[in-house]
Amino acid sequence: MPAKTKVGIIGCGAIGGIHADGYSKCADAELAAVADILPEKAEALAAQHGVGLATANYKDILADPSIGAVSVCTPNDLHCPMTLDALRAGKHVLCEKPIALNLTQAKKMHAEAKRRERLLAIGVVNRFNTYVELMKEAIASGQIGEVYHTRFVFKNYRCIPGLGGWFTTKARSGGGVMIDWGVHFLDLVFYCLGGPKPQAVSGVAHAQLARDIRKYAYLDMWAGPPDPKGTCDVEEYVSGLLRTDGPTVAFEGAWAQNIDDTSMFIEFLGDKGGIRADYGGGFTLYTDKDGVLYQRKATAPAREMYVDEIVSFIDCARTGKASRADIEHVLPSQAVIDAFYKSAATGREVKIRQ
């Protein structure tokens, strides 16, 4: 086994920079190459991290036999083709979420990873969050009893990202807030519950606030500024109910709404207690004993989950260990998202077949 695994990053935007920071803090990884269709982005990231190769053609990275693993940090429509190319070149892959535009593409990626005997991990970074691990342990140990319902909310006020760009162009993104933010919450819930099987979903999606890009007033816009000549054909608001072979799951989310209320939380309701968690932060466990109601806040040392995600990816790639972020574990979230969009389009509940 080499002293370090040489890695490359495809896509040098914000998330590519986060991956670069993670590799720089991973003792078993060496960031050897970066690629972006905008050469200045690749060159800037390479200069920041002392990387030898900065290129506009990602296939330059794949052609290097010394590079054993890559991160795919590109817009959603490029996840599938670039990941397939990387797997066929013999690389282990960490592909950012969502897996792809749809379940069909995701299954193709999964099959290729198995065929090539390569690790394909997905950027479901909450699986490496300390508080998520603690919640998972609390649920598995029976501290809140049988979980019968969960709920998550991910809402913001006037905050559509990159309006007019690829984020709001369905052909490139696959959808709006549900595939962008919802996938994180879905995966977090599935992970904490031990992987219940999704059965059916009913949902609604609304695209109201940015029908005229030029008239859209906003407070914040990452991946901006808005492009008035661009496209916005995705939803900014969603709501739905998911049925599984275990708990039901209710959700509501919005990139943008006309109420100034930013809410990001997850709830687990059990017959002996409950958990309410702040997304990305701590949680409170509610229970009772001998007729007395208790609340207990979880506290833990802060860890860098993006770094832990990278460290785990490299460790699993080097040793062959099973990865908690393996694509196989994330396929259910992709299946739910596909069914959600079908339900929203048809106005009826959709059964989920994986």
Residues 120 and 198 grouped into a single domain: no
Q: Tens-digit pLDDT profile for the chain (354 aa)?
A: 568 999 999 999 999 999 999 999 999 999 999 999 999 999 999 999 999 999 999 999 999 999 999 999 999 999 999 999 999 999 999 999 999 999 999 999 999 999 999 999 999 999 999 999 999 999 999 999 999 999 999 999 999 999 999 999 999 999 999 999 999 999 999 999 999 999 999 999 999 999 999 999 998 888 889 999 999 999 999 999 999 999 999 999 999 999 999 999 999 999 999 999 999 999 999 999 999 999 999 988 878 999 999 999 999 999 999 999 999 999 999 999 999 999 999 999 999 987
115 and 239 fall within a common domain:
no
* CATH at residue 104: 3.40.50.720
Please indicate, yes or no, whether residues 77 and 141 belong to a single structural domain of this protein. no
Residues 279 and 243 in one domain: yes
Q: What is the pLDDT of residue 2?
A: 66
**Are the C-beta atoms of 195 and 332 separated by less than 8 Å?**
yes
Q: Over the Cα atoms of the chain, what is R_g?
A: 21
Do 71 and 22 fall within a single domain?
A: yes
**Do both 87 and 178 map to the same domain?**
no
The answer on 135 and 120 residing in a single domain is no
Query: Which burial class, exposed, middle or buried, applies to 39 when counting CB atoms under 10 A from its CB (0-12, 13-18, 19+)?
Result: middle
Q: Residue 1 has what pLDDT?
A: 59
Distance from C-alpha of 33 to C-alpha of 56, rounded to nearest angstrom: 11
CA distances from 300 to 129, 281, 285, 354 (A): 11, 10, 14, 36
| Host domain of residue 29 | 5-126+306-325
Closest CA to 198 of 74, 306, 350: 350
- Do residues 17 and 137 share a domain? no
Q: How many domains does the chain have?
A: 2
Interatomic CA distance for residues 31 and 53, integer angstroms = 10
**CATH for 160:** 3.30.360.10
121 shares its domain with 213? no
Whether residues 320 and 271 share a domain: the answer is no
Q: What is the pLDDT of residue 299?
A: 87
* C-alpha dihedral, 129 to 20 to 48 to 27, nearest 10°: 80
Other beta carbons within 10 angstroms of residue 137's beta carbon come to 11
Which tokens in the block code for residue 8? 């490359």
Same domain, 108 and 162: no
Strand arrangement of the beta sheet that strand 29-35 belongs to:
53-55, 29-35, 5-10, 67-72, 92-95, 120-122
| Cα–Cα distance for residue pair 238/178, rounded to 1 Å | 7
Same domain membership, residue 317 and residue 295? no
pLDDT of 33 reads 98
If you search the block for the tokens 């001998």, which residue do you land on? 290
State the number of CA atoms in the 13 A half-sphere of 244 facing the CB.
Answer: 22
